[in-house]
Amino acid sequence: MVPVSVLVPLFQSRDLLVIDKPSGLSVHNAGPGETDVISSACREFQVSQVFPVHRLDKETSGVQVLALNEKAAREWAERFQTREVTKIYRAIVRGNLARPSGTWNKPLTDKAEGRMNPQGPAGNRVPCETHFQVLDQNRYFSLIELDLRTGRQHQIRKHSALDRHAIVGDPRYGDKAYNSKMAKLYETDRLFLHCHRLSFENLIWESPMPEAFAKLMAPSGTSAKE
């Protein structure tokens, strides 16, 4: 259950509000009895309206940019669409990657798919590119940093699953039994994907990794046996 006050401000100006979004909070269209980023931002920062210029998945935490007027919304949406904004994510995935860095470039559809076929129908696939770098590993997990070179729906989640290193806690593309086991062992069922940094020209917004990440990456790591 997301608490009533949920949004940590990272930056605010006349045109923009940048917040640190928690995992488990939708950007918009919350269900009955739930809140979302838009309604929470209006309430907590006493603004009349906000416009999300990009959207993190409900399960993903980290840097979320909101425009405070329609002009800024159009300008920033264009910057995201034309890849002028650099997007750096961090994730914890199953197992150890064979290479310390590389690029995942399998084509994907631009909509949500399922674990049986993350790429989606062949006729609907479009070019995709995700650069990864391993930051840390223990016996059971790898902490990776990801530079999103294209912006397809669930791109990082699909690419990591296709490389047989699904993101820990991914309910759509990961293994349900494995995720259930990890949730019990580590007392969290979150998706271990975090928008760590967004940058545009001289603007840089960064969110520290959540505490839950450190718990999985602890060197002892004795309880996550396959």
Residues taking part in catalysis: 57
Integer angstrom CA distances of residue 220 from 40, 133, 134, 216: 38, 22, 19, 9
- The answer to whether 68 and 187 have CB atoms below 8 angstroms apart is no
Closest CA to 29 of 58, 5, 53: 58
Q: What is the DSSP letter of 124?
A: G
User: Which residue, chain included where needed, has tokens 């039994």?
Assistant: 177
> CA-to-CA distance for 99 and 42, rounded, in angstroms?
44
- Say how many Å lie between the first and final Cα of the chain, rounded: 29
User: Which residue, chain included where needed, has tokens 């902490």?
Assistant: 143
Q: Which two tokens stand for residue 113?
A: 């798919």
Length of the chain as a residue count: 226
Closest CA to 93 of 199, 188, 175: 175
DSSP-derived 3-state class of residue 81: helix
> CA-to-CA distance for 14 and 28, rounded, in angstroms?
22
Residue type, 2: V
